[in-house]
Amino acid sequence: MKRFVLAAMAFAAGICAWGQQRLSVGGYGEVALSRNFYSDHVYRYTSASSHTGEQHGRFDVPHFVVYLGYDFGKGWTMQSEIEFEHTGTGAAVEKEFEEAGEWESEVEKGGEVELEQFWIQKSFNPEFNIRMGHMVVPVGGLNNAHEPLNFFTVYRPEGEYTILPSTWHDTGISLWGRTDHWRYEVQMIAGLDAYMFSRDNFIRNGAGSPFEFKVANKYGFVGRLDNYSVRNLRIGLSGYYGNSMHNTYPYEKLSDTYSDVKGRTAFGALDFEYKGKRLTARGNADYGYVGDAATISKLKRNRTANEAPYDKSTIGQNAVAAGAEAGYDILPWFCPVDEEQKLYAFGRYEYYDSFIPGPGQTDNVPYTAKHRVALGVNWFPVPEIAVKAEWSHRFLPSQYNDEPSVSIGVAYMAFFKR
């Protein structure tokens, strides 16, 4: 009898362990504290001389993300990801006794809560998998590896974060696979919306939707290819293409004068990452193009209703971003026996411009071209946690004020059950 009880307990424990292996729970999060030695006034560029010597501070929780996945067996898996940005959002209904007892709705705090991923996948073999649902769009180095332990700076690298959706996530279909030295992925997703493009952020907001659904009058096509042939080195090439006009709600049938305006949008990016025993280096180069930029800018200003949830600023034909960072583990100089901890001293340089005008565009906004340098340290007390500190300086054209800052942060990235 005793042997039977022990055998039953072992069997039950095995069943429980098997179930736990099928469930994966994880996530990442980051906290950032900054002192910015420049103005945050809305006219700090148009009236730069009036805003010299100003400074401000910001404390933030940029991202907190929860992963939840499940392996159903026979090659079927599910993955979901819920993201809280800037500690989420809050609203409340209150009775205002000082205003005749009226009920009022008030925004208690800013932020966002988003379903960043939800997809179901069928894996036939490592070389061929098909995925359908809401997923990350891996265009650019940042979107491909956006978790906070995948970059040294306290905040996400500015160049790609400024001109690309980040984290870019959209609904569609994906085919992907991996061999010893290559990984590929192709996606068909809902197209971008040109009316959401802007001077300061290029196509960054074009993937969003203010509605309960994503408008998909037009479609976008994504491709990514990564090579791992060299030890410790990954090199990736990615891109996007699709028409971005006539992708609004309700569908707008323009006059014959504008019916052929396509808003062809193309974006290409090259990125790499090298992770050696003590040296880690990353870099990216990005180039974007929007066709009919001058006409789209005119239509945004003149044809969208004032209350419509669209951006009315002009957009450039092109945008660029390029950057590189390198970190070296200096902890063995001071503590040679602790191999689990790491202390990276790092530097990063990047250049980006969100507004490069094309033919027919006379706008002159040189402040969109920025150089940025960051120097700092990342301490990893354990592999899943990084404590970050950095000094950075944003260099603008001479008629504007430069933008230095100091930031510290802490971040984690881990799976708690897998």
* pLDDT values of the chain reduced to their tens digit, one per residue, 418 residues: 445 444 444 444 444 444 457 999 999 999 999 999 999 998 999 899 999 999 999 999 999 999 999 999 999 999 999 999 998 877 665 655 555 556 666 676 778 888 999 999 999 999 999 999 999 999 999 999 999 999 999 999 999 999 999 899 999 999 999 999 999 999 999 999 999 999 999 999 999 887 888 889 999 999 999 999 999 999 999 999 999 998 887 776 665 667 788 999 999 999 999 999 999 999 999 999 999 999 998 888 876 556 566 778 899 999 999 999 999 999 999 887 777 899 999 999 999 999 999 988 877 789 999 999 999 999 999 999 999 999 999 999 999 999 999 999 999 999 887 6
Q: Among 286, 285, 226, 239, which Cα is nearest to 266's?
A: 239
The pLDDT of residue 306:
61
Beta bridge partners of 372: 350, 394
Taking the C-alpha atoms of residue 353 and residue 200, their distance in angstroms, rounded to an integer, is: 9
Two tokens, residue 355: 């507004």
Position 253 scores a pLDDT of: 65
pLDDT at residue 92, as a whole number? 63
- pLDDT of 9 reads 47
Q: How many residues does the chain have?
A: 418
Rounded-to-integer distance, Cα 306 and Cα 290, Å: 24
As a whole number of angstroms, the distance between CA 279 and CA 294 comes to: 45
What is the residue extent of each domain of the chain? 30-60+126-417
- The predicted structure's pLDDT at residue 211: 80
- Percent helix, strand and coil across the chain, each to the nearest 5: 15, 50, 35
Topology (CATH level 3) of domain 30-60+126-417: Porin (2.40.160)
Its pTM stands at: 0.89
